[in-house]
Chains A and B, each alone.
Chain A
Amino acid sequence: MSTISDPPVPSFRLSQLIYDTRYRSLTIQVVAFILIMSGLVWLANNTVQNLAALGKDFDLSFLSSRAGYDINQRLVEYSNDSSHGRAAFVGILNTLLVAFVGCILATIIGVAVGVLRLSNNWLVARIMGVYVEMFRNIPTLLWILIVFAIMTEAMPAPNAFRGDTPTASMLLGDSVAITNRGVYIPAPIWGEGSLMLIAVFVASLVGIFAFRRYAGKRQEATGDILPVFWISLGLFVLPSLLAYFILGRPVTLDYPELRGFNFQGGTHLRNSFIGLTLALALYTSAFIAENVRAGILAISKGQTEAAFALGLRPNRTMNLVILPQALRVIIPPLISQYLNLTKNSSLAIAVGYMDVRSTLGGITINQTGRELEGMLLLGLFYLVTSLVISSSINLYNKSVSLKER
């Protein structure tokens, strides 16, 4: 006789697909997959039909045809005979230039404002609070227009600098002229031997890096602390300065000068560039200030007290205890603010700055009628940029995350 009943027959009924939790997730996923795919196919199908109806095709060859329009600010060689691809490249460089300068300015202002907002000076803390709220609660676009209007409407015209009794004067020892046509600053002229100078400068940077490593190792091994800051500063300044004079001053400055109706020489920073960069920097700095403030407040007072109890001096407490912890909180949102600034630089359209959206996504599309391809490439550029920036956040987070053992 058998005491053991037959093992349950592994049967499968269709209703298990819905009611059995082992299979249900699979069902849901298959249904979702079918829905998503059919949605995408529907969109693609519509696009193909619409393109066919308009007699267009999907073709990127317009990038190599002649652009035929001028770009007033270019970092690389470009003329209206260049290709649309080249125009897009010039636009990309212009976008990155605004993003780069804007990020640096925003960081400097933002850190200063954030720290001052925590100042125990009542008045300063209030003023910085007003600054932050003012910039955070008014649209970026409005700030860009306001800064641009200040530059074009409220600044003196070039002819105000002329005559025996000029109503405007150049700043910083006649080297910078702020006019309603833009700002003129001195431009460096790279003479013979300047390559050598740059090489010396790079070498001194490498030297600083090597020295800091050495000082760190030495401190680990022996406990002696070298005056790292002063030696680094010396390494940073002295070799380049010496080389500059030994090589016979290879780099000179070209100063802007009033000739005819306008300033000539130097570097001309257009109002569109200044308006966009300055407004984005001011706007973003308000957000950075809040990040900095939050980062500093996030470090509990006990950390400072413990460091003092160990006998660390205030500057060492700051450098070795507070900053490393605060930076862990500050840097990820800081980088995402950089990302926001880069994306907001597409507001260049408001002031006519020739960024990638105005070249590739604007004039090129209008001239060639390739809006699908143009917008796709434009979107791809922004997507790649932001993925690069956000993956750098992830890398940073991984490198500073607390090692839990």
Chain B
Amino acid sequence: MNDTQTGTVENPAYVRAEMIPEQAPPATQVGVIKWLRENLFSSWANTLLTIVSVYVVYWIIGHIFGWTFFGIWDAGSLSECRAIRDERYGEGASVACWAVIADRWDQLMFGFYPSELYWRPVLAMVLFLVAIAPVLYDNLPRKMLFFTVVSPFLLVWILWGGSIWGPVCVALGFVLGWAVLSYGTALIGRLGATIAAILVPILYWLFAAGPISAALGSVAPIGLEAISSDEFGGFLLALVIGISSIVLSLPLGIALALGRQSDLFIINKSSVMFIEVIRGVPLIVWLFTASLLLNYFLPPGTNFDLMLRVIIMVTLFAAAYIAEVIRGGLAALPAGQYEGADSLGLDYWQSMRLIVLPQALKISIPGIVSTFIGIFKDTTLVVFIGLLDPIGFTNAIRASTDWNGIYWELFIFIGLCFFVACFSMSQYSQYLERKLRTDNR
């Protein structure tokens, strides 16, 4: 009965006298093996999935890798490409013929833009990047924003050429409006100055800008060789349409969103109608409207170039989508923000500018950027109304005897270019979201 009390109380036999040294964890619980067990082989279903995916990856890489990396870069036509392939890798080997991209690089990039003037689109691209940089990254010097403000006029002049005085005189209209607003407020009150700041530039553009630029042009003929819109093509066309629609649609979209949130009946209903009609119909129908019908709606005899029509249509289309995204942001703000702004005595525009819009836009960044990405991808649809964007050129290239029958290389190249552009836009939006996040999650 007293079996358990055989040892002495001070030093029972079953109690360890010193600690065992700490042992290394089992091999399955550390390093690579642990990671593999947890992430790839945690259960039999997971193991099965891993095996299937490894096979899929192997299959894809097996088919694509050699085809891509042993591709032929130096040939003038598809038959020449095949001859080089037969010589290098043996009859019927499957390799890409990237030579088509090298051969038609200029067309794919610039369309029919005169080849001795390629420096202009390139310069425009560089200037655009410089202009957009301070908007994207706020740790750059703020003085660069002055260039950003000037850049739209500069870029239009570099790309289309012509007299420098045209863009300068258009830009003067904005300066005029700003001057009226800032000096007129003291004279005729804020409301009067606002109305004047809208009316004066419009009257100036309608009646004064043309003669002034003509007069300046005859006094000091500074200009670049004029390029008509028909000569734009390839990625240049896609970028010009995409970037100008994106830049123009944001302010319009904000205005439409505010209109849709407005208490004023007529403004509200007309914004709703505009947004719903635009969103309800596919872009391609709007593009056909621009190319077939726009002449019906304008005064008889007006005819302006197709590219401008397309930019206007795509801008209106993008604006309706952006308006809906921003409306979501406006609706997501707690009512206390609106009430707080009111109780501080701010008027409508002040409360929107200082309190509501900064927060609503921050909420809507992901949506806005994905709309931008959608718009940039949709610029490919202009091919259907006869503009030669990169996809339009694939047909043109395939129609030539040299490259008849080439598909994948062109599709992959164009897809890759769009992927790089769109993917970097979405990565930037994620960076911006992280940077602007103010809550402590």
Contact = CB atoms under 8 A, between A and B. Distances in A.
Partners in one complex: yes
B407 A29 contact: no
Given A379-B285, A382-B285, A387 B422 contact: no
A123 interface: yes
Interface stretch (A133-141, A160-168, A186-194): A133-141
A327 interface: no
A51 to B, nearest CB: 7
Contacts of B282: 343-344, 346, 382
A53 B39 contact: no
Contacts of A346: 282, 284-285
Given A25-B264, A32-B266, A145 B191 contact: no
Contact of A149 (B377, B407, B422): B407
B264 A29 contact: yes
Contacts of A149: 407-408, 411
A361 B50 contact: no
B295 A50 contact: yes
Interface string B372-415: 01000110110110000001001000000000000110010011
B423 A375 contact: no
B29 interface: no
A78 B295 CA distance: 34
A56 to B, nearest CB: 9
Interface residues of B, number: 56
Given A137-B423, A357-B285, A120 B264 contact: no
B3 interface: no
Contacts of B297: 43, 46-47
Contacts of B411: 142, 145-146, 149
A17 to B, nearest CB: 11
Give the size range of A's interface with the partner. Answer: 35 or more
Interface string A13-55: 0000011000001001100110010000001001101110100
Given A46-B296, A142-B415, A122 B422 contact: no
Given A371-B292, A382-B285, A386-B279, A127 B39 contact: no
Given A47-B296, A47-B297, A133 B423 contact: yes
Given A18-B191, A29-B267, A372-B293, A137 B418 contact: yes
14 contacts: A32-B267, A46-B298, A47-B296, A121-B46, A121-B53, A123-B50, A140-B377, A145-B391, A149-B407, A343-B281, A349-B384, A382-B281, A382-B285, A383-B276
B149 interface: no
A153 B398 CA distance: 14
B68 interface: no
Contact of A387 (B56, B276, B408, B418): B276
A121 B49 contact: yes
A124 B53 contact: yes
B299 interface: yes
Nearest to B279: A386
A121 B296 contact: no
| Chain A facing B: main interface SS | helix
A52 to B, nearest CB: 9
B289 A375 contact: yes
A142 B414 contact: yes
B49 to A, nearest CB: 5
A121 B53 CA distance: 10
Contacts of B49: 119, 121, 123-124
A245 to B, nearest CB: 37
Contacts of B180: none
A137 B426 contact: yes
A200 interface: no
For the complex of A and B, 8 pairs with smallest distance between CB atoms: A122-B39, A137-B422, A383-B280, A343-B282, A139-B377, A386-B280, A346-B282, A139-B380
Contact of A347 (B56, B191, B381): B381
A327 to B, nearest CB: 20
A105 interface: no
A137 B235 CA distance: 16
B265 interface: yes
B281 A138 contact: no
